[in-house]
Amino acid sequence: MARKRITEIFPFIIPLRAWQRNQFYLLGLHFDHNHYAKKQGDLLPYEVSSTKTLMVNEHSGYDIVYQKNKIDNLKIASHSMKNLLIYPGEIFSFAQMLEKSRRCERRHGRKFKDGLILINGKIVPQKGGGLCHLSNMLYYLFLMSPLTVLERHGHKVKSLPNPDKDALEGIDATINSGWKDLKVRNDTNYTFQIVIDFDDEYMYGKILANEPFDLQYEIINENFCYLKKQDKIYEHVEVVRITTNRKNKEETSCEKLYDEEVEVTYELPKDITIKESV
């Protein structure tokens, strides 16, 4: 029998362990000799990519109050990322910006609320829950830009259907402060900027640039299917990026970025085809 972790024996120390791990992670970023994006500025003139996402998932099966709390959490988390400039050679770290937002909001007396989060395969309410909604959107924007993805972690389990019916699959980025981050680096000579806005229903995101950018990106899904493996259902998809020249509209490349497979634990519609994995 495997030995239990100390947090399994004494679960009340989990918050302390998480805080400790996060502080060590942030300290590591401080001393790793990389340059991290920290400066916010006026809006740059040229759009590279844009998207929007519905914030409330009415099909979660849980009390709607957690969805409303998530909206407040998203606004707090986005505070230090909004209008953030990423200069050539700089790295964006979601965890670092999130910690900056936390410190700023504590000074203003605002606190994260209980939102839904996946822990050990179960959906539970937790303070600050729902922030993956923001990291998911940012990851999609990064894929639609020339920024280089350094770190991204896909979810292992999908417990809720997408709030947006037309949302692409396999475009997600789970975050866990101290353990999992979302990081990109600007390996170009352009300066890019993250823009985040909200209305009553949607969260909007853009990547802007300081100069016109000749290439345009499109992310598509290919060979999407559901697979059954040892009595578990998995969603499998290929994530493909198409690059086009903005001026003449000619396709310059089409590349498969990766295969994504995630266990699905919510009930699928009865008319869905599920293949037996070989």
Among candidate residues 50, 212, 43, 37, the one with its CA nearest the CA of residue 141? 50
Query: Residue 7: is its pLDDT beyond 60?
Result: no
Place of tokens 């001393």: 31
With respect to residue 223, please indicate whether it lies within any of the assigned structural domains: no
Structural domains of the chain, count: 1
With respect to residue 65, please indicate whether it lies within any of the assigned structural domains: yes
Q: Distance (Å, rounded) from C-alpha 240 to C-alpha 258?
A: 7
Place of tokens 């559901």: 226
Quote the pLDDT of residue 136: 95
What range defines the domain where residue 172 resides? Answer: 34-213
Structure confidence by residue, pLDDT tens digits, 29-69: 767 888 999 999 999 999 999 999 999 877 666 788 988 99
Quote the pLDDT of residue 250: 94
The DSSP symbol for 89 reads T
**Low-confidence winner among 19-23, 146-150, 233-237 (lowest mean pLDDT):** 19-23
User: Is the CB of residue 100 less than 8 Å from the CB of residue 85?
Assistant: no
Query: Residue 216: is its pLDDT beyond 80?
Result: yes
The mean pLDDT value of the chain amounts to: 87
User: Is the CB of residue 59 less than 8 Å from the CB of residue 156?
Assistant: no
178 pLDDT band, cuts 50/70/90, is: confident
**What string of DSSP letters covers 143-185?**
HTSSPEEEE----SEE-S--SSTTPPSS-----BTTTB--EEE
With respect to residue 274, please indicate whether it lies within any of the assigned structural domains: no
Query: Residue 75: is its pLDDT beyond 70?
Result: yes
Structure confidence by residue, pLDDT tens digits, 78-134: 998 999 999 999 999 999 888 888 777 777 667 888 888 877 667 778 888 889 999
Largest CA distance in the chain: 63
With respect to residue 7, please indicate whether it lies within any of the assigned structural domains: no
- Cα separations in angstroms, 62 against 53, 58, 67, 117, 157: 20, 9, 9, 12, 17
